[in-house]
Structure formats: structure tokens, C-alpha cells
Amino acid sequence: EVLAARREMSRAAQGAIDRRDWAGAEAELRRLLTSAPRSAEARVRLGRVLQEQGRLDEAYDAYRAALEQ
């Protein structure tokens, strides 16, 4: 059940990314990271979303956290 919920959050985040709905993608990825805090993939995706919003310091932090996982 937990894995199914994580997959759904990941799909929702990707759908938002595909629509360029950066705020929606960020919200879904942050939810996903609450459930799976060690997910390097989710952190990289969050970094991309933050970068697209021009939030470069936050994007850097997300990318760095992904490398540390």
C-alpha cells in the first residue's frame, strides 16, 4: 500500500512536470519525499522543478542532497 501511494505521487509529479505545472510538481515531490526521504530520484526531480522556477539555491540544495543519498 505504501509503495502504491509512492508510485501514485511519482506519477502525479511527472504529470505536473509534463504540463509545466511547477508548483504542482513541487508539492507532489515534497509529499513523496515525506514518504521516501532517501529517494535520490525524487530529489533530482525536485531540483529540476526548482530550477525551472528560477529558485537556483534551492535547486542546488536538492541536487546536492540527491548526491548524498
**Three-state SS sequence of 7-51:** HHHHHHHHHHHHCCCHHHHHHHHHHHHHHCCCCHHHHHHHHHHHH
Average pLDDT over residues 44-50: 98
For position 51, what pLDDT does the model report?
98
The single-letter DSSP state of residue 53 is T
Number of CB atoms found within 10 A of residue 15's CB: 13
Average pLDDT over residues 42-65: 98
pLDDT interval class at 69 (50, 70, 90): confident
- Cell 509503495, residue located: 3
Instruction: Give the whole-number percent of the chain exceeding pLDDT 90.
Output: 99
For position 56, what pLDDT does the model report?
98
Average pLDDT over residues 2-29: 97
